[in-house]
Amino acid sequence: MVYLDYAATSPLLPEAIEAMHEAEQRYFANASALHTPGHLSMNKIEEARELLAQLINADSSEIIFTSGASESNNTVIRTFEGHKIITSPLEHHSIIEAARVLGGDEKPALYSYMLANNEIGEFLPIADVVKKAHKEGGFVHSDLTQVLGKLPIDVKALDLDYATFSAHKIGGPIGVGALYVKNGVPFKPLIIGGNQEKKRRGTTYNTVGIIGFGAALKYILDHKTWEIYDTKIRALRDELAECILEEIPGSSLNTDLKNSLPNILNASFEAAEGESIQLYLDAEGIVVSTGSACASGDIKPSHVLMAKTGDAEVAHSSIRFSFGLDNTEEDIDKVMAVLPGIIDRLQKISTIERKTK
């Protein structure tokens, strides 16, 4: 299998599997309990908290563990319920929909802009957003889910007030995430009724999951994975982009290779429907996506590509290739051995007239 859907989720790192297996046997006690096994579980949770704080240059007291990025995003939006909430059109649905339902006209305002988009990988002008928001007395949240491990992150240098993270994008388990909340900024818990996380998120700790998250964070720190992404992975991504443009008529890139994460490539194929391409590739053992996995099953074109291109045909004919640390040159060869033929087959049976020949 050639796996090129790391932006949707990444395979569990062996280190995370091992850490979680040990946790199931040794750190099963409720981390809020006063007895010794409870203290041992809490110590492991705090180790993971310290690792994330170190990785993003935050204080450990500013890290709240959650069930994932969507919860983290919703928590921030809920904090500003009734306030003016300004987002980019490229945000994840957990931001856009929450802001639509909960936003209002009160001040101070919240600006929520991701640093890099999950579908096309492109960077957003976060520095400009921060400057504008803070000048107005507002606050800034950034969804850094796709950035963790791919780029160095310094929340202090970025001057963020809130930031979102997820374990399963970096080789940790599904169902664990984190929220950075700068000391002193407004905060309202989404889940109430418990003293966990200093009364900022009530519910029993997912100790095993948090320990797995910690193992993935340690792997990032130990291997400086952002350097690998900037060299090896970027080269693979760019090579695939070049091959697609050279070998497949009617192909185009939706990702700006010079202004994007090094592991995401979004391409469109004229007169070829994205889901059909995905299924044909899947039959060949090649795993890709048509956009955000959170929106799978939605027949509407990607809101990200519609915002970027305004062209429904481009959006419907798009495929996202997203790379991880295990991908190789051989994976590119396997993709290009079958992709041109798949596109040609679909274009020949398409009722959509091609603009290019």
Provide the edge-to-edge strand list for the sheet that holds 318-322: 251-253, 264-269, 318-322
Cis peptide leading into residue 14 (ω within 30°): no
The H-assigned helical ranges of the chain are 14-26, 36-56, 69-79, 93-102, 126-135, 155-158, 196-199, 207-223, 225-228, 234-247, 274-283, 303-309, 312-316, 329-349
In order of 21, 24, 66, 191, the CA distances from 33 in angstroms are 21, 17, 19, 20
Burial class of residue 17 (count of CB atoms within 10 Å of its CB; 0-12, 13-18, 19+): middle
Spatial separation of the C-alpha atoms in residues 220 and 110, rounded to whole Å:
30
Nearest to 86 by CA among 136, 34, 150, 37: 136
The H-assigned helical ranges of 248-325 are 274-283, 303-309, 312-316
Residue 294 annotated as catalytic: yes
- Contact between residue 277 and residue 319 where contact means Cβ atoms under 8 Å apart: yes
Spatial separation of the C-alpha atoms in residues 110 and 116, rounded to whole Å:
18
SS3 state of residue 322: strand
Which residue of the set 29, 294, 306, 336 is catalytic? 294
Write out the two tokens for 5.
């859907």
Spatial separation of the C-alpha atoms in residues 89 and 81, rounded to whole Å:
19
- Contact between residue 165 and residue 146 where contact means Cβ atoms under 8 Å apart: no
Catalytic residues: 294
